[in-house]
Homo-oligomer: A and B are copies of this chain.
Amino acid sequence: MSLPLRESEYAVTLKNDRLLRALLGEPVDVTPVWMMRQAGRYLPEYRATRKQAGDFLTVCKTPELACEVTMQPLRRYAFDAAILFSDILTIPDALGQGLYFSEGEGPKFHKVIRSAADVEKLPEVDIADELSYVTDAVSVIRKELNGTVPLIGFSGSPWTLATYMIEGGSSKDFRIAKQFMYDNPEAMHLLLEKLADSVTDYLNAQIRAGAQAVQIFDTWGGILSGNAYREFSLNYMTKIVSKLQKENEGRRVPVIIFTKNGGQWLESIADSGCDAIGLDWTTEIGDARSRVGGRVALQGNMDPTILYASPAVIREEVATILKSFGSGEGHVFNLGHGITPEVNPDHVSHFVEAVHEYSEQYHR
């Protein structure tokens, strides 16, 4: 596979650029919508591809399969964006930590970080090179999208990656990671510095390969106190944002920061230089807009469990969130977290249709 694709190989004009416009606060006809984890286990065709591939990581590491599952939700629903199919933990894997998935237990690492020496021993790797399967997937997907909707690239945040690398997987209370942070702040900062450099290189490689917006998933920033969040998580996301390539293919590449349970820190997140903040469902989007809406766009924020409710309830909740945001620009509709495997795919149609249908009145 030859990389990167030349610009002429992309469709010159993006047919649907609502997402990019909304992320920059520019006028749109209707509110754009996509879903975190839209290529996921709730779709039977996704489960079939994954079964055929054998496992999740094989889908991530095979650009044609990653492209196939990225495209699947777009064939069913009128989403305004595709999001690269990958995992947030590709970087620690590229750093030699040995990512694997054990059924029902989530991601795990063969190696863990438990000391300053472990941090210092982390290899210097060329992330773009090591994760070429991801940038290859970006190129293949862009070709396949053929200018219909933009492609979002992403990475885990340094803090979120660090928690997994220290704990060796997910955790209930992240006590090993927090103890490391409190007892060895210098070593933690060194680790986060290294990860911030890797995330920067990784996202820039995705942008060069064709990602038209990028999102930083700070899944576990919200387990910290406000002070610790700013020092150990937001601080590094801010550094990354400042070093990302601002433009590609003649358009600005917007950056979204999503800190789960970060609703108390929106003002600080808006100071990071990001273009948009992802909100989980615990934050009232209207309140969030009055706090930071003039400075950044907002993405979110329906509780994903509402997709288990009846179509009427789903439509009503979409209407409530649109009304809470109100008239004007700077809103990308999304869930407040990823869609879960047991959702009925028909319910997603109601969700997407309702966003487009009910939002028109707010964009006149």
Residues of A that sit less than 8 Å from B by CB:
173-175, 178-179, 182-183, 222-229, 261, 263-264, 281-284, 287, 303-306, 308-310, 313, 317, 320, 340, 342
Contacts and interface: CB of A to CB of B under 8 A. Distances in A.
Contacts of A223: 282
Contacts of A309: 178-179, 182-183
A173 B340 contact: yes
B303 A227 contact: no
Contacts of A342: 175
A61 to B, nearest CB: 27
Given A282-B222, A313-B182, A313-B183, A173 B261 contact: no
B282 A320 contact: no
A179 B313 CA distance: 10
A179 B173 CA distance: 26
Contacts of A281: 225
Contact of A303 (B225, B283, B304): B225
A175 B305 CA distance: 6
Contacts of A182: 305-306, 308-310, 313, 317
30 contacts: A173-B304, A173-B340, A174-B305, A175-B308, A175-B342, A178-B303, A178-B305, A178-B308, A178-B309, A179-B305, A179-B308, A182-B308, A183-B309, A183-B310, A222-B282, A223-B282, A224-B303, A225-B281, A225-B303, A226-B282, A226-B283, A226-B284, A227-B320, A229-B282, A261-B261, A261-B282, A263-B264, A264-B264, A264-B283, A264-B287
A307 to B, nearest CB: 9
Nearest to A343: B175
A225 B282 contact: yes
What are the 10 tightest A-B residue pairs by CB atom distance, in nearest-first order?
A: A182-B309, A178-B305, A179-B308, A226-B284, A175-B305, A182-B313, A225-B281, A263-B264, A183-B309, A175-B308
Contacts of A222: 282
Contact of A175 (B227, B261, B320, B340): B340
Contacts of A317: 182
B224 A282 contact: yes
A320 to B, nearest CB: 7
